[in-house]
Amino acid sequence: MKLHKRMMDGLDQDIREHIEMETQDNIERGMSPEEARHAAMRKFGNVTRVKEETREVWSFLWIEHLLQDIRFGVRMLRRSPGFAAAAILTLALGIGANTAIFSVVNAVLLRPLAYRDSPSLVNIWGKFEKDGIPQNWISEPEYWDLLDHNESFAQVAAYALGGRANLTRVDAPPVQVSEASTTADVLPMLGIVPVVGRSFSGEEDKPGHSHYVLLSYALWESQFGGDPNIGGKPIQLDGEAYSIVGVLPKQFSLGGKQDLWVPLGLDRAKPQGRGSHYLHVVGRLKPGVNPVQASAALVTLAGDLRRGYPGSYGPESKNFDMFMVPVKEQLVGRLRPALLVLLGAVALVLLIACANVANLMLARASAREKELAIRAAMGAGRTRLVRQLLTESLLLGLAGGLLGLVLAYWGVNALRALVPANTPRMDEVQLDSAVLAFTFGVSLLTGLFFGLVPSWHTVKNDLREALSEAGRGTSVSGKTLHLRSWLVVSELALAVLLLVGAGLLIRSFKRLLDVSPGFQTQHLLTMELSLPEKTYPDGAPVQKFFTELLASVKTVPGVESAGAVSQLPLSDSYTSGSVFFEDTSIPDIPRLPNLGNLPYMEIDQRAATSEYFQAMQIPLVRGRLLNEADDASALLVAVVDTNFAHRFWPHGDAIGRRVGIDTIPNSNPPMPRWRTIVGVVGHVKHYALDVEGREQIYFPHRQPLFGAFAPRDMTLAVRTSQDPSSVTNAIRERIFAIDKGLPPYNIATMDQLVSTSVAQPRLNLSLLVAFAVLALVLAAVGVYGVMAYAVTQRTHEFGIRTALGASSTDVLKQVFLEGGRLAALGLALGLIAALILTRLMASLLFGVSPSDPMTLGLVAVILALVALAACYIPARRAARVDPVIALRYE
């Protein structure tokens, strides 16, 4: 543009000089100065116009043409408001759906996490694949090993989740809070700066010196009224004094909802056991270290550990291993398949919307043939005409995009309310610049897509023909009808594809709900209790508390039975551990070298009170359930599930067999502490309805585990005769009667837990069904439009037929046949596409094959009915054609 400026700046003077020279020449030819000047001016021409034309050389002519086209386009659209409204609304639905889903994809999958340089952050995990543990936390000794043999990571830090504490207040009832613990370097490493106060100092993260706490934003607001001077104030957790050092930002989470954070205070001199895996480890890759190298280094380290500590990792070569996962993938990876399927679905909806609008454009183009022909005759080139028509469609696309944004804004709000509460990053979903750019791009592409075919089609036709005809343009319309039929066929095919997808999800969901979880979900109230270590230091007081409490709860009117378990099914809490067997004849399982080479296996372990099975109505299959007599003084016993019994003793009886999870306290050499299997109960779906889960073993809560321990975190399961939530307050009172500093939390009926556990598939289902219905409606409108148009075009023909004696039924049949032909073709193409594409959504399906014949059949029926319904009005109109009027119409 510098050249442009230089040239234009000098133009005035250039012109002046030019005229001056010409004047001079004229004077030399003998003219008077005045005459010479006039002649020169005349010869030069209109100075203003010359300047104007020169400026135009440098200006962008196309912009002016564009503005002209836009003005013209707006005028044309204004002239047919019905068409414009229909097109814009159709596009807005398609673009709005795309924008809404894309805004979720963008926030959840695409945008980097809100950590400093988040792409270089990874989670480091262990795994014991042969034991069926594909991802395991890191133990303290492993963490130190990682730090000592680290070459790939600039930083490695650890935190632990899942802690619980009672926040006691003098002025308010106690609340149960979730507590996470972290090494001092986690927050600075992630680049998280507290909104109030500061992070932990290294000094505060020392063993025995860790009574400091960082509050979550939510807890700060709900319990401390957002006090900006909270820093340094004391707080009582489980009866101990902590000092508040700061408040974390609102959005901060390391997975799940943490109310407060305390320093981890790892003691390198006295680490927990190598087999005690509880640390989340996060590392930042050194610049220049690629993930493949870092992964290889972890595998090498795991190999060294296996060789160095065969007692901890077993002799099974290649069993223990370490790996890393990018932090973002860890957080949102599980959402990817569903989101991509939904994104694909809305893209199909948009395609259908495009086809519909293209159809409208074609119908309108037939009506505009004369206008276009006249414009062509007056000298508008074909490209210019195409450009004009394209401008119109782009205008429609942009208007649809604008309205679509409004729809998307509502849609996103609705989505936020619908998604399961534990969906990560949903609070980050917003219509930000990336989403706006996406919508703009989609709108333009859409406009181009549905505009290109009709405009080219229109201009390609011999426009002179249109002029010379009486104005009905039958030959062109014939071709147009053909193109429009194909558009409708593809719309139907796309709708079939979506319907099949939605149908498969409906069938899956039905199957999912039909799954028996292995217990009775109705009339069951659950709530969690965490006894603080300070007031309940070991097993005996814990056992005493629960025995007393459950006896008391049973007397609450409406309660039928009451039990407690360390991990309730479908509650997102689980634990597993090695169970070893006295029976050494069990084939194909690993052995414990440091405990008599006993066979062992990773099993889901629970501690349960005596009435737990009755309360849950988990069926007894053999032997007996746990009972009141199973206490520390009695024979140590266990109950296993059917899967356990079948797996390890497929041909024998599990009852009477002895298994162990720990050793006799203070035995040297360590001796297994045997527990005798006394009963077999039904398997319970613990993790989710569609996950079978590991084998399960239950130990009596009143018998000691690992020394004299009894789990302090227990969930009550209370079977009621009426609405379970009606006894909540009574039970809470019974708890406070025993310990008034012990608030129950996670209070929910089992039906609510089941509903939460299927929230994600339910949401996928609702969205896909909504999109499929939208697609079907749009496709039906398309069929209607084409059939109506065809009938209008052929009024004459129908008139002649009727005049020649065809009954109205014949005419009706003919229209239905043609509509049926389109529907059949669309259905066939759609089903073929569905057979190919629904495989992509296999990971979202449960108990249904992607080519489920029932679904395909139902979709075919629905589509046929809808297509016929769409033909009905045009067919009726055709049948009623009055031959006299129709012939006169010619």
Please report, as ranges, the residues that interact with another protein according to CB under 8 A.
3-4, 7, 10-11, 13-15, 17-18, 20-22, 24-25, 42-47, 49-51, 53-54, 56-58
CB of 323 to another protein, least distance (A): 59
Q: Quote the least distance from Cβ 379 to another protein, whole Å.
A: 15
| Separation in Å, CA 307 to CA 133, 152, 300 | 20, 22, 11
Rounded to a whole number of angstroms, the minimum distance from the CB of residue 878 to another protein is: 55
Q: Select 43 or 624, whichever has its Cβ closest to another protein.
A: 43
Instruction: Judge whether 576 and 275 are in contact, CB under 8 Å.
Output: no
Shortest reach from residue 44's CB to another protein, in Å: 5
User: What one-character-per-residue DSSP string does 158-211 give?
Assistant: EEEEEEEEEEE-SSS--EEEEEEEE-TTHHHHHT---SEE----GGGGSTT---
Shortest distance, position 21 Cβ to another protein, whole Å: 4
- Backbone torsions φ then ψ of 720, nearest 5 degrees: -120, 165
Residue number, 24 or 627, with CB nearest to another protein? 24
* Nearer to another protein (CB atom), residue 1 or residue 421: 1
The tokens describing 75, both together, are 């005028």
Instruction: Judge contact between 158 and 281, C-beta under 8 A.
Output: yes
Peptide bond connecting 669 to the previous residue in cis, omega within 30 degrees of 0: yes
Q: Shortest approach of another protein to residue 7 CB, angstroms?
A: 6
Q: What's the min distance (Å) between Cβ of 94 and another protein?
A: 42
- Residue 882's nearest CA partner among 813, 801, 821 is 801
CB closer to another protein out of 49 and 79: 49
Smallest distance from another protein to CB 43, Å: 5
Cβ closer to another protein: 57 or 551? 57
Distance (Å) of CA 448 to CA 453, 459, 716, 785: 9, 16, 61, 22
Residue 62 C-beta: closest distance to another protein, Å: 15
Cβ distance to another protein smaller for residue 53 or 267: 53
Sort 173 into a burial class: Cβ within 10 Å, 0-12 / 13-18 / 19+: exposed
Query: What type of residue is 392?
Result: E
- DSSP readout, 376-416? HHTT--HHHHHHHHHHHHHHHHHHHHHHHHHHHHHHHHHHH
The three-class DSSP label of residue 530 is strand
The CB-of-871 to another protein minimum distance in angstroms stands at 56
Longest dimension (CA), the chain: 138
54 vs 752 by CB, closer to another protein? 54
Sort 553 into a burial class: Cβ within 10 Å, 0-12 / 13-18 / 19+: buried
CA distance 718 to 749: 9
Of residues 41 and 419, the one with the C-beta less far from another protein:
41
Give the burial class of 277: count Cβ atoms within 10 A of its Cβ; 0-12 exposed, 13-18 middle, 19 or more buried.
Answer: middle
**Closer residue to another protein in complex, CB, 15/154:** 15
Contacts of 137 (CB under 8 A, 6+ apart): 125, 126, 277, 278, 279, 280, 281
d(CA 391, CA 448): 9
Tokens of 203: 């000094």
Name which of 28 and 148 has its Cβ closer to another protein.
28
The least CB distance from residue 17 to another protein, in Å, is 6
Which residue, 44 or 709, is less far from another protein as judged by CB? 44
Write down the residue that tokens 């001796």 correspond to. 671
Residue 57 or 737: the one with the smaller Cβ distance to another protein is 57
The residue count for the chain: 890
- Smaller CB separation from another protein, 38 or 149: 38
Tokens 């009808």 identify what position? 481
How far apart are CB 27 and another protein at their closest, in Å? Answer: 12
Write the single-letter amino acid at 749.
T
Structure tokens at 890: 């010619």
Nearest approach, Cβ of residue 22 and another protein (Å): 6
- Shortest CB 53 distance to another protein, Å: 4
Q: CB 69 → another protein: shortest distance, Å?
A: 23
Nearer to another protein, 17 or 267 (CB): 17
Of the pair 13, 809, the CB lying nearest another protein is at 13
Taking the least distance from each CB to another protein, the nearer of 49 and 78 is 49
DSSP string, 534-555: TTS-SHHHHHHHHHHHHHHHTT
**Residue holding tokens 């963490």?**
143
d(CA 560, CA 615): 8
How far is it, in rounded angstroms, from Cα 280 to Cα 84? 57
Token representation of residue 425: 């990053």
In the complex, the smallest distance separating the C-beta of residue 19 from another protein, rounded to whole angstroms, is 8
Nearest Cα residue to 449 out of 311, 354, 513, 347: 354
Which of 680, 864, 671, 678 lies closest to 779 in space, CA to CA? 864
| b (16+ CB within 10 A) / e for 220-233 | beebbeeeeebeee
- Compute the least distance from the CB of residue 14 to another protein, in Å: 6
Kindly provide the residue ranges of all beta strands, DSSP E only, lying in 673-804, ordered along the sequence: 675-681, 696-700, 713-720, 745-749
Closest CB 388 distance from another protein, rounded Å: 24
Residue at token pair 């890393």: 324
Residue 26 or 182 with smaller CB distance to another protein: 26
Q: Quick one: 44 or 410, whose CB is closer to another protein?
A: 44
d(CA 75, CA 77): 5
Q: For residues 243 and 567, what is the distance between their CA atoms, to the nearest angstrom? A: 32
